[in-house]
């Protein structure tokens, strides 16, 4: 038995096909994008610390008000703070102006931490965020992205597979903070 075809008036079937193809195209070119231009992140994503181009694994924490960055060997010098990133992330020594102080609740009780402004590449967004500095050597992630980094650009889907939105920002080098070069590695001939 053959198929039966009912013609649609005014070429509706062609229009329907075009609309369907358009929506499929939108789904393919915009993975992770919600309505309103917001990008959907998982609970763990890669971010880039700008302008240094240092890729960090970030824990997305909607319960944290403020972003927190791993800072080793923290030293305050007047209105600036000097700290080192962990060796796993290059061990770079950074010196930045203190942008304020944050009172933070932690398992150790209430703490007062220095905060700096940093630029982060998160997905395709370059975001300037205030981050408090803390030695995070005892935890898994070197940076926690709090609500101050997420607001206006991102939504979080905790069921989404981690690291699904790679950080790709167009201009990654327009800040000129002081970066203290890491000292050369000491080698011994023993």
Q: What is the pLDDT of residues 102-124, one digit of tens each?
A: 988 877 788 899 999 999 999 99
| Residue at 1 is within a domain | no
Instruction: Tell me the pLDDT tens digit for each residue of 10-25.
Output: 555 776 666 555 555 4
Indicate whether this model's pTM tops 0.85: no
Question: Domain with 126 in it: what CATH number?
Answer: 2.40.70.10
| Residue at 149 is within a domain | yes
| DSSP symbols for the chain | ------PPGGGHHHHHHHHHHHHHHHHHH-TTBPGGGPEEE-SEEEEEEETTTEEEEEEE-TT-SSEEEE-EEEEEETTEEEEE--GGGT--EEEEE--EEEEEEETTEEEEEEEEEEEEEETTEEEEEEEEEE--TTSS-SEEE-HHHHTTTEEE-TTSPSS-S----S-------EEEPPPPPP----
| Residue at 10 is within a domain | no
């Amino acid at each position: 038995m053959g198929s039966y075809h009912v013609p649609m008036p005014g070429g509706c079937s062609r229009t329907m096909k075009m609309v369907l193809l358009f929506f499929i195209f939108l789904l393919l070119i915009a993975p992770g994008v919600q309505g309103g231009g917001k990008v959907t992140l998982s609970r763990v994503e890669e971010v880039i610390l700008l302008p240094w181009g240092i890729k960090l694994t970030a824990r997305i924490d909607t319960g944290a008000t403020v972003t927190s960055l791993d800072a080793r060997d923290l030293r305050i010098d007047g209105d600036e703070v000097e700290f080192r990133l962990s060796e796993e992330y290059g061990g770079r020594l950074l010196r930045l102006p203190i942008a304020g102080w944050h009172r933070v609740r932690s398992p150790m009780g209430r703490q007062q931490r220095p905060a700096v402004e940093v630029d982060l590449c998160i997905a395709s967004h370059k975001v300037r965020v205030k981050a408090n500095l803390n030695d995070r050597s005892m935890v898994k992630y070197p940076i926690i992205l709090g609500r101050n980094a997420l607001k206006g650009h991102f939504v979080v889907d905790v069921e989404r597979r981690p690291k699904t939105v790679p950080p790709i920002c167009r201009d990654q080098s327009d800040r000129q903070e002081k970066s203290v070069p890491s000292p050369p590695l000491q080698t011994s001939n023993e």
